[in-house]
Amino acid sequence: MRRTALLASATLLTALLPLTAAGSASGADEPAPVPVDRFEGEVPFANQPADGIFTWGGDTDDPPALQLTDRADAPEGAKVLSGTYEISGYGGFTHDFAADQPAHDWSAHKGVRFWWDGQDNGKKIAFEIKDGGANGEASELWTTSFTDDFTGWKQIEIPFADFTYRTDYQPVGGIDHVLGLTQMWGYALTLPVGVKGQFAMDDLELYGKADQSLRASVTTDSVVYPVREGGTAQVKVSVATIGSAPIDEPVTVAYEAGGGTAASGSDYVPVKGTITFPAGTASGTSRTVQVATRKDKAAESAETVPLKLTVTGAKAPAETPEVVIDAHGLPYLDSRLPVRKRVADLLSRMSLEEKAGQMTQAERAGLTSQGDIATYALGSLLSGGGSTPTPNTPEAWAKMIDSFQLRAQATRFQIPLIYGVDAVHGHNNLAGATIMPHNIGIGATRDPQLAEKTGAVTASEVRATGIPWDFAPCLCVTRDERWGRSYESFGEDPALVESMETVIQGLQGRADGRDLDRGDKVLATAKHFVGDGGTEYGSSTTGSYTIDQGVTKVTRQQLEAVHLAPYRTAVDRGIGTVMPSYSSLDVLGDGLGPVKMHARADMINGVLKGRMGFDGFVISDWNAIDQLPGDYASHVGTAVNAGVDMMMVPYTYKDFSTTLIDEVKAGRVSGKRIDDAVARILTQKFKLGLFEHPYADTSGADEIGSTAHRAVARRAAAESQVLLKNANGVLPLKKSQKVYVAGSNADDLGNQTGGWTITWQGASGDHTQGTTVLQAMRRAGGDVTYSKDASAPLNGYDVGVVVVGETPYAEGVGDVGNGHSLQLSAADRAAVDKVCGAMKCAVLIVSGRPQLIGDRLGEIDALVASWLPGTEGDGVADVLYGKRPFTGQLPVTWPKSETQLPINVGDASYDPQFPYGWGLTTLTGVPEGNVVTLKALALAATVAERAGSAQAGRDIVTRARLLVQQKVGSALTASVAAPFADADHLLLTGKYAAAVAKLTEAYRAAG
């Protein structure tokens, strides 16, 4: 799920003339225009704190190229500001006023205007102004836009009343949410994306006189006022001004209730009147209008009472406030009834339009207006990666989601929304949340109980912000490390993935769903059904992706054994929702060829819902139906008929809903299919307790990012560390040693947490709260010196620790061949060479997948696969300094070269750098022995297997594995690696005796 967060922004240029200077007046009451930017060279191209123009963008190619150009047709003066651009992410330019000067006062004027040389490209250009705060980069952003739908010079006038508070990004999280205009720091323009273009602008100035009818506004404290039948709604009506000055002319508000579905007189007491705010009234003054409802004995759906407001002297509210008399007395509202009866009753009352709404999910930032929640009877909203409220706090999340739920109360049956979010390793969209290791690291722990605990922490933090639904866990079986999503997998072995599915109970609670209404549980999602981890390299047709969203080619037996197996387990564990994959499935021999999973009725209806008995609902991936063949109607009909129950259509929710209705009316989608989908969705909403408690239960919010929660993440980080090599016992470190630390990932929390952290792609640097590996080593009491690039002197140290690896990415953006590789960067290689060439060294690889290290393995004394450990670097330090032993095992095969890929346990040809399941330990008392010892362990394993003693069986196989690893040392050969990897698979499938037999084979092969 994608979302771009604009990083820079707010204002462009200001003239050398003081903004309060008077010009020749055009009228007695109309002030002369005041120049802000003439673009004659009076303002330089410069950054803060200087007064100047600068560009910005999402990557190195996105910032536009700017220049001051002589133009004979310049609307004012001789020069204009011109530029060219070709933006793939986001980009634009800003003028920040000098930060060491007072801010500018724009409050006397009506708005801002400038000349724009139109290209008639039909694109919107966002225009922002920067209000309040310390300077232009720490101000509050207010935004509007204009459309380039003309040719040649045109003067664009934008009244200040048109600007709205920007909700997707604020540099300092917002200040007071009031456009004061008395402390202005500049402006910015965001240029169009996806087109190669040019622009020119000139003569930006303030114009007109502040007009109270534009400067003052009337608001209500809510738009929807639910009230129980017989109760009285309290509607607070307020007057406010831009700049917060008192109103200088009277404002009147005439109000009258009526025009809704409730009957005047019988359902509510008629109300009509006028409120007057006299001249001089302070901004923010409020009056209350009461709307009393009447009680009768009939069971009814919700009824509405609009309160029409007619405003004189100020802007009226954008929406008419509406009193809603709650639905009451109907069977579906009775929590004592079985869920199936409640579902049947509600379903029987719903219209086709209401059913279609329940099957529609929109991105919260994609709503044209919040009123669409009721207009289209939407069933669900989501936050894609990085789609966060401002400020990004637990309180703001809960407040935002409650505001959406309030809108749903204005519908006939008051069906609550189900809000979803990608919390794939903790509540990763929320700043300050506890961020777990990514799934690849959890798989390395081989600890199902710990996996469950990480799920429980995630569920607790997600639900405490008002979100009842998590698009996790990913049950993909990663088969090729070139895949940009490989870190979302628990591993390459379906048996390992199945063992980690305890996380489902951590998220949801008991398999029968009885815990879903708790304030610390969420509905979970098994994704991506089915085979997304098996796509063939080079098969993707999505943009520049090389493997993600490609084609999985398998035999029927491979499909069942590898990719479907984890979903059988998930269904048995009571998973509430399933998400199909973007990828295509090509089952060899079935004659269908590659078919997109969202169109595979045989798999969704036939296997998942039919054979496996899945009774939850199926949610599509982000805009996934757009990848199906045919026109849009065909996309909708094909996916729904294939068994997709709810469609994630972030920005096209209106089109989807109306198209689905048309498809049903045309007979191409049956009413029975619609009823099945809606029943499944409603069932989960009832189980979650949303009808009784639609709003956020924030009682657990104090635990978000708590010491107890971070302790779970710290343990997970420690157990996820895989010790691949440890010559001469370099690890664990001693606190008495002088340690030289280097490398790009030693002190970078963003690199440590990876993708899907705060934003979709993640980012390097500090963007949330946590502890880096370097900070943790210092906190552990280590004598540490740090030099990122190893440029500091290298003499006088006992040991070096070089922390290297990847920078964040997500999905196909991270595919190898799409700007990424499995090679360490040149800087990382140099750091390894310098440190390991000068002293004993341990290299930690912080990454979402194996990195090719074989050419340097000889100079490295200790090698650790750190994966993406999350926010708790203390867990890494715990094993480095011996507070905890290394116990992690490889969840995937570590290749020698990219030409070996794909390489997986069980392959006929298997000669990796390190085999699946490999993991040295720093435990004391590592078992010793020989073939005789292994024979004794094999007998014990047989007894444990026959007795059904899983714990004893695992302990026996672990002893045998450690014994074999000690014998093998660094002498890993293909004849050792293959049976060693097979043994770990057999262990996970409960075949303990066979596992020991394979380990014995590996032992003998080691010579």
Give helix 950-968 / helix 992-1005 axis angle, nearest 10°.
Answer: 10
Residue 367 CB partners (closer than 8 Å, separation 6+): 373, 381
Q: Which of 461, 621, 645, 982 is catalytic?
A: 621
811 a catalytic residue: yes
The residue assigned the tokens 């435990």 is 923
Place of tokens 């036939």: 606
**DSSP summary character for residue 901:** -
CA–CA gap between residue 159 and residue 136 (Å, rounded): 21
Residue 162: CB atoms within 10 A of its CB come to: 16
Interatomic CA distance for residues 484 and 52, integer angstroms: 40
Q: Which of 132, 144, 23, 43 is nearest to 94 (CA)?
A: 43
Residue in 354, 461, 811, 945 annotated catalytic: 811
Find all residues with CB under 8 Å of 274, minimum gap 6, and list them: 252, 253, 254, 255
Beta carbons within 10 angstroms of residue 292's beta carbon: 15
The three-class DSSP label of residue 593 is coil
Distance of CA 142 to the CA centre of its chain: 24
Region at 579 (left for phi over 0; alpha for psi -120 to 50; beta for the rest): beta
The torsion angles phi and psi of 1005, rounded to 5 degrees, stand at -70, -20
Give the rounded distance of the alpha carbon of 608 from its chain centre.
27
CA 209, chain centre distance (Å): 44
- Beta carbons of 577 and 539 less than 8 angstroms apart: no
Give the H or E element holding residue 738. Answer: strand 738-742
| Beta strands, E only, 555-669 | 577-580, 584-587, 595-596, 617-618, 647-648
Contacts with 354 (C-beta within 8 Å, 6 or more apart), sequence order: 377, 411, 412, 413, 415
Task: Give the single-character DSSP code of 300.
Answer: B
Residue 835 has what DSSP assignment?
H
Residue 128 known to be catalytic: no
Q: Are 757 and 435 in contact (CB under 8 A)?
A: yes
Tokens read off for 732? 């664990």
- Three-class DSSP labels, 198-257: EEEEEEEEEECCCCHHHHEEEEECCCEEEECCCCEEEEEEEEEECCCCCCCCCEEEEEEE
Map residue 362 onto helix, strand or coil.
Answer: strand
Q: How far apart are CA 205 and CA 185, in angstroms?
A: 14
Token pair belonging to 234: 């309290």
Angstrom distance (rounded) from CA 615 to CA 650: 25
Question: Distance between CA 433 and CA 704 in Å, rounded?
Answer: 6
| Residues pairing with 820 in the sheet | 816
Note whether 724 and 397 are within 8 A (CB): no
Report the C-alpha gap between 625 and 617 in whole angstroms: 17
Three-state DSSP at 913 gives: coil
Tell me the catalytic residues.
621, 811
